[in-house]
Chains A and B, each alone.
Chain A
Amino acid sequence: MTFWSRVSSWLQAMLRRSRMESEMDAELRFHVEAYADDLIRSGVPRPEALRRARLVFGGIENAKEECREARGVHFVETLLQDSRYGARTMLRSPGFTVTAVLALALGIGANTAIFSVVNAVLLRPLPYDQPDRLMQVWHTPPQKSFPGMPTFAVSPANFLDWREQSRSFEGMSAYGFGRYTLTRSGHPEAIRMVAATVGLFSILRAQPLLGRGFLAGEDEPGHEHEVVLSYGLWRGHFAGNPDIVGKNIQLNGQAFAVVGVMRPEFDFPISSDPGSRAQMWKPLAWSAQDRAVRDNHNYAVIARLKDGVSLPQAQAELDAISNALAQAYPNDNKGWGAIAIPVREDLVGDVRPALLILLGAVALVLLIACANVANLMLVRALSRRKEVAVRTALGATRRRLLQQALSETLLLAFAGGALGLVFAHYGVILIVKFLAERLPRANEIALDSWVLAFTLGISLLTGFAVGLLPALRMAEADLNQALKQGLGRTATDSGGSRTRNVLAVSEVALSLMLLIGAGLLIRSLWVLQHVNPGFDPSNVVTMAVSVPTGKFAEATQQINYFGRILERVRALPGVQSAGLIDSLPLSDDGSHQPFSAEGRPTAPMAELPEVEVRLISPGYRSAMHIPLLSGRDVDDSDVAGRPGAVLISESMAKSFWPNEDAIGKHLTLYFFPELPRVVVGVVGDVKMTAMNETQPAPTLYFPVAQMSVPRGASWRSFGMILVARTDAAPLSVVPAITGSIREIDSEVPLLNIRTMDDSVSASLSQARFTMLLLGAFAGLALLLAVVGIYSVMSYAVSRRTNEIGIRVALGASRGDVLLLIVRQALLLALIGSVIGIVGALALSRLLASQLYGVRPTDPVTFISLAALLMIVALAASYIPARRAMRVDPMTALRYE
């Protein structure tokens, strides 16, 4: 029987249900009457005959029930019947129902929300054909020069060798991200452009909506003035006009031919929010000189594995090629490897631990909610023992009782699931709102069919988890005892109360584990917020002055241009000081460069030490309030033609000249060998990549006025970031600043205008959000645990009313009674806390990657949260305990 024929038989059976019932009645009635007729014929009087016929037939309801079961449609039918009955019972006790549904809804809702994030970010395939075969290929840099840095961008010559020598890949394409200025009717606009070597679209197997991708040979210099538009840009800027294909547009003052338009779903590289999606793609055309560059690493590489080639095979081949390259070019490549990482892993590697932690946390919340509701159900099952006994007496089988009890909890779970979906809907909106920037593919988070299936699945699971224990106990109830005991209030129910105690203890333990996790994150965030970034972020505004590649033919033109801008900005009222830098602290980008220092042995490039290198203007250090520890700041006298001046950070001074004065030491930057430089000042360390940087990054600053064309490259103009310290309210000065820059250059795009305070806060946003979510879940868990302890204690008090009455009658004081109850609650909380602490010790190392300045076993957090939980448990038992204190011995002894 196939699944569908079975379903249709069920459906038909349900439709025919009433007919079958009446037919069954008629058939059995016929039997009894026919038998009675035979008896009458043999001389038995009619009433006696009927009576005897029924007696001989036996329990007619029992037989009917067995017949229904034999008919095979029993399950669905009784499920409906049970659900209707269950719904009626639940409506009769709204307090219980609301508590249970709410607890389950919170648990299921939290799980659904987090799962929908996990689904979009970690599980759903990327929007490409066979995305599992797409690999990101990176360099692995020598660990001596780049401690802790797992991957590194790729140099053109190495990429070309990989592409030529490897046999594991269908295709390999290098690409870089840049900003271009699109000018339409004199109006400039910054466009996010991806320049890629030919083959990108075929590697991604992406078909354009209109026109074509790039042709072979278009990445030769001179042939690269072609662009493919994104669907969004085409609709937004060119009104979706298909005639645009073949026309020219103005980019950076040059004509580019539009050759194609991509489909709406196409996105490369994958970005989290629409504000950072690529808007155009152009061929990446390297000159012969560019193609020879092996030591300057600036590109990302994507590749597609050939059919039948496994990742380890491809990796082995890359290793072999890298080894050969390191031997052929030891100066540039010694210690440099290559690694292929599946694109999805490359994309989400950073957020996966945080998401998995949250998933684990919500699973714990749901477990606690289940324990809680199971507890409530157990108490209810006890008070319904008489009902069960009556139903057993009327012929209900054990299986039937079990099924009925289970369908009630399933109904609860599904109600919880439905409400949980509503919670999840709003939860997801909140998550996307706070996390969009930090979470890849955040725009894809939605309650889709996978999430709905997940919710349905965990609702079902929850229903069984919650219902099985109470259902078994209910079905096992001893018929005779239950009927004798009436309401069963004073029943000796040691097995039941043990189960409830175990549930309460596990609730305490699980919620303490969550509390400790959240507590560690809170402490970590607190530490992070009080970390000194090395500069003073208040009253500082920053903006990118986006100079397109090719705007200035020579470096001196760019130097003069920025010099004029600085002059104008410094003169503005409200601006205290201003400076420039090529990439801001906390921005996770910026240049690493090798250098050779005086008094240290010369070495091939691959073995030279690397430091962070930043281009600055005079005034940057003072605008940021980075302390000058010794020597002098760079100033307007450090220009071309003068001796090269550099500032170095304290950590750089310490690691390269540990026991001497770094001032006056000579060094040479590998990429700018023509100008020897001298250390003129040592400045404080700054958090270069993120607030949770544990080791300060050794950094070297040199003045933009002393820059030159890097070794092996040709001159390309580039943008810088303006940093201005203001008297007050930095954003209020922004119009004046942008106005004065526009007076110098009306076409330059000014981007990412924000305060330094915002940058600091954005750097903490993921940590803050993980903490907030985990904190919320821990709070939820605590609430559920309190309800759990409260319900166990209230039930214990009502069960022990008789005993308490006797104790009071025998002279126990109110204090004794209070102690009796509170002691029991404290014992539960204590056992739970001990288990919780052990569990947290085992699990908290999973949190280690998310912690800063706090150890995963931080005793302060552990002890204070365990204490908090004990106090809360005490409070939860106080109300039942007071009720116990007020027990009147006379009433209590009569209490039955």
Chain B
Amino acid sequence: MAKPIDLLQGTLDMLILKAVSLGPLHGYGVLLRIQQISKDRLEIQQGSLYPALYRLEHQGWIASEWGESENKRKAKYYRLTAAGKRRFQAETEKWNRMADMIAGILNTTPEEV
């Protein structure tokens, strides 16, 4: 297993949006889903997950309702709203452009300059 890397600033929101875009999840589920997708290569501070969820909900990108968990316990489920979907797409595009650009810069060889 590779050594987990810390999350880049500001990317947690995007990861949460991605996680809930695949289907409604409770907070712990969001954590597990991100770890699963990243193959445990990302380290997420559990305490910082909830303020991010509350913030996204306040901004109207995700919505929540209470439901029952796999083990029959009451849990709060988050799902992506229509506004959140648009936002997620925009953020993803922006991120890809940025990543391409930075990768391009970093891969430049001395001959190309």
What residues make up the interface of A, taking CB atoms closer than 8 Å to B?
23, 26-28, 30-31, 33-35, 37, 56-60, 62-63, 66-67, 69-72
Contact = CB atoms under 8 A, between A and B. Distances in A.
Contacts of A56: 46
A599 B31 CA distance: 113
17 contacts: A27-B50, A27-B75, A30-B69, A30-B75, A31-B46, A34-B69, A34-B71, A34-B75, A57-B47, A58-B45, A58-B48, A59-B47, A62-B47, A66-B48, A66-B50, A70-B52, A72-B58
Contact of A67 (B28, B45, B51): B51
B46 A71 contact: no
A176 to B, nearest CB: 71
A28 B50 contact: yes
B75 A67 contact: no
B48 A63 contact: yes
A60 B74 contact: no
A31 B28 CA distance: 5
A27 B51 contact: no
Contacts of B69: 30, 34
B52 to A, nearest CB: 8
Contacts, number: 63
B16 to A, nearest CB: 12
B26 A30 contact: yes
A33 B26 CA distance: 13
Contact of A70 (B27, B47, B55, B66): B55
Chain B contact residues: helix, strand, loop or mixed? helix
Given A26-B76, A56-B46, 10 more contacts: A27-B50, A27-B75, A27-B76, A31-B50, A33-B73, A59-B47, A63-B51, A67-B54, A69-B51, A70-B52
Given A58-B46, A72-B58, A31 B27 contact: yes
Contacts of A66: 48, 50-51
B56 to A, nearest CB: 9
The winner among A31, A33, A35 for most chain B CB atoms within 10 A is A31
A58 B46 CA distance: 7
Nearest to A9: B58
A30 B74 contact: yes
Interface of B: 26-28, 31, 45-48, 50-52, 54-55, 58, 66, 69, 71, 73-76
Contacts of A62: 47
B50 A63 contact: yes
A811 B10 CA distance: 66
B7 to A, nearest CB: 14
Nearest to A53: B46
Contacts of A59: 47
B109 to A, nearest CB: 43
A40 to B, nearest CB: 12
Contacts of A70: 51-52, 54-55, 58
A30 B28 contact: yes
A26 B31 CA distance: 17
B50 A34 contact: no
A36 to B, nearest CB: 11
Nearest to A23: B76
A67 B73 CA distance: 22
A750 B45 CA distance: 94
Nearest to A64: B50
Nearest to B52: A70
Contacts of A33: 73
A737 B69 CA distance: 105
6 closest Cβ contacts across the A-B interface? A58-B47, A66-B51, A70-B54, A70-B55, A63-B47, A34-B28
Nearest to A56: B46
B45 A37 contact: no
A72 B76 CA distance: 19
A394 to B, nearest CB: 15
Nearest to A73: B58
